[in-house]
Amino acid sequence: MPINALDLFCGAGGSSWGASAAGASVVCGIDGWELATRTYADNFPKAKAVTAWLRPTSNRRLLGGIPRIDLLLASPECTNHTCARGSRARDEESRRTARFVLNYAAGLKPRWIVIEKVHEAIVPPDLRAPSDNNQAQRVNDVTFEFQGVLGATEYVVQISRNVNFSPLVFQSASIQTTASTVLSFRYNNAQAGFSSLASNTTYFWRVGARSTFRNQPAPRPDGYVFSRVFTFTTADQPPAAP
């Protein structure tokens, strides 16, 4: 009995090719990019190629008449929840695409499901404190709080006078933890290597998260998924004692 496969977010058919090479019968591929589905149709002429954007309400009716599905393949969009996006604004709709796979898993009830997992598929940390546009922040003692995220093992706090974070005023040492609770980092000029921030100055701050693997010789230097950018403004320094 053949193993029938459906490929969601099929692109040109990389996952379908692997399934086909393993003996599965690929019956359909779906993608929102017409060029991708045209290429898919060329690569898999016996399979149905559907051009459509998957939505939270998408279901089997979108695919038309297809046989029973035994193997569900899915490669949801990854740019908006990995380091590939850098610190640019996230597209929340794109980040939800992984959840659309659940609709087809529930409706088709395949025997096997294969979902593409990319390195560092983690969400950006949420910043807690100082709150955005915080005013009159002390210059010599600041506690930064942020929400830890599932899958991250390492964080970094960055401060800059420029929204592009170049140059940096400060970057913390690696904060290593797997906790997904509210985390904190204290910037205090009493610590070695720390200096007071300038008074009456607006600063930008953000937190990066990444996942490191023990089978790698070293973490990737560009592997952080950064949070939104918050600002705070430091208070005026009190006059010097006479």
Instruction: Answer yes or no: are the C-beta atoms of 149 and 180 closer than 8 Å.
Output: yes
Q: For residues 211 and 101, what is the distance between their CA atoms, to the nearest angstrom?
A: 24
Which residues in the chain belong to E strands, given as ranges? 4-8, 25-31, 48-51, 71-74, 112-115, 126-129, 134-137, 141-147, 154-160, 170-171, 175-176, 182-188, 202-210, 225-226, 230-234
What global pTM score does this model have? Answer: 0.54
Q: Which of 43-52, 171-180, 196-205, 207-216 has the highest mean pLDDT?
A: 43-52
Residue 142: is its pLDDT beyond 80?
yes
Instruction: Answer yes or no: are the C-beta atoms of 29 and 37 closer than 8 Å.
Output: yes
Give Rg (Cα) of the chain: 24
Question: Residue 36: its pLDDT value, please?
Answer: 96
223 burial type by CB count under 10 A (0-12 exposed, 13-18 middle, 19+ buried): middle
- According to the CATH classification, is domain 126-234 in 1.10.3720.10? no
Q: For residues 173 and 219, what is the distance between their CA atoms, to the nearest angstrom?
A: 14
What is the band of 119 on the pLDDT scale with cuts at 50, 70, 90?
Answer: low
Residues in the chain: 242
**Annotation: CATH topology of 4-115:** Rossmann fold (3.40.50)
Question: Residue 32: its pLDDT value, please?
Answer: 92
Question: Residue 123: its pLDDT value, please?
Answer: 75
Q: In the chain, where are the structural domains located?
A: 4-115, 126-234
The torsion angles phi and psi of 189, rounded to 5 degrees, stand at: -75, 0
**Residues in CB range of 36: below 8 A, 6 or more apart:** 10, 11, 12
Smallest CA-to-CA distance from 131 within 25, 1, 39, 231 is with 231
Question: Residue 215: its pLDDT value, please?
Answer: 39
